[in-house]
Amino acid sequence: MSLLFVQYWDVIQGREKGYSDYLNNTYLAEISTLGLVPVGGYFVEVGFGPRTITAFSSESLEEISRIITGQGFRDLALGLRKYVANYNNTVLEPDGTVKLGRYPVQKGVWKFNQYYDLRPDMKQEYQEFIINEYFPAMAKIDYVTVTNCWNVVLGGFCDIILEITFKDPEDIGHLLKNNDLQRITRKLIREFVTNYTNRIQRTTKWFSDPRWFRR
């Protein structure tokens, strides 16, 4: 079962060149040697910021904790923060409703992610709704995939992130107008969750650089 360590930031205006050099020549190469496996880099096209997102996988919360509290990671993060603002991070754990296994490397895709808090005492009803109504409704939309449903373990600003993947950016218009999605999302918000929001993300070109991950 893969957990995700996700970082968010905005690049400081005027420092783009130094940021790009540090990210590609130092940060992404060295963070892999610490044990975090890069699986996705994103830019937020529509929705709230920060605008840049990186995702790394690990097999345990203990491993993530060991890495991010170590001096090697702290030095890398300190170097990164010379070039970025609004930096924060979070740890995500699969809620078990999607049988994904190891989280795949994300390249050349778009995301429609939904963020929300679960209403008190609605955990069982929510899980039944997701499995018996939400997933079947989304399965009818053949150009998208529910990649995972994540519980936010550390950091962040919400309880749950529902991750939906699609390959063609033109499909986002079709998705947002889809009657099944609109109906099932209204029920989700009305009955089970609060503080709902969403955003559209695309994978970044620099992620395709093979230095991101170990063979």
pLDDT in tens, 31-47: 989 999 999 999 999 99
In the prediction, which pLDDT does 41 show?
93
Mean pLDDT, residues 127-154: 96
CB atoms within 10 A of CB 118: 18
Q: Model confidence at 104, in pLDDT bands (50, 70, 90)? A: confident
Number of H helices and number of E strands within the chain?
8, 8
Helix (H) or strand (E) holding 201: strand 193-203
How big is the CA angle at 79 (ends 76 and 85), to the nearest 5 degrees? 115
Closest C-alpha among 91, 21, 89, 102 to residue 52: 89
pLDDT higher than 80, residue 7: yes
Mean pLDDT, residues 110-130: 96
pLDDT higher than 50, residue 48: yes
Mean pLDDT, residues 180-185: 96
Provide the 8-state DSSP code for 161.
E
Distance CA 208, CA 167 (A): 15
In the prediction, which pLDDT does 125 show?
97
Per-residue burial over 156-174, b if 16 or more Cβ lie within 10 Å, else e, is bebbbbbbbbbeeeebbee
Helix (H) or strand (E) holding 111: strand 110-118
Q: Model confidence at 215, in pLDDT bands (50, 70, 90)? A: very low
Q: How far is CA 97 from the centre of its chain?
A: 17
pLDDT higher than 70, residue 208: no
Phi first, then psi: give them for residue 83, nearest 5 degrees. -115, -5
Q: Model confidence at 129, in pLDDT bands (50, 70, 90)? A: very high
Closest C-alpha among 7, 49, 32 to residue 210: 32
Q: 197, 47 in Cβ contact below 8 A? A: yes
Q: Spell out the residues 6+ positions from residue 12 whose beta carbon is closer than 8 angstroms to its own.
A: 19, 83, 84, 85
In the prediction, which pLDDT does 73 show?
97
In the prediction, which pLDDT does 211 show?
40
In the chain, % of residues over pLDDT 70? 94
Output the six-digit token pair for 158: 């919400």
In the prediction, which pLDDT does 206 show?
56
Output the six-digit token pair for 100: 């994904």
In the prediction, which pLDDT does 115 show?
98
In the prediction, which pLDDT does 209 show?
40
77-95 confidence digits (pLDDT tens)? 999 999 999 999 999 999 9
Helix (H) or strand (E) holding 37: strand 37-46
Greatest pairwise CA separation for the chain in angstroms: 50
Q: How far is CA 30 from the centre of its chain?
A: 21
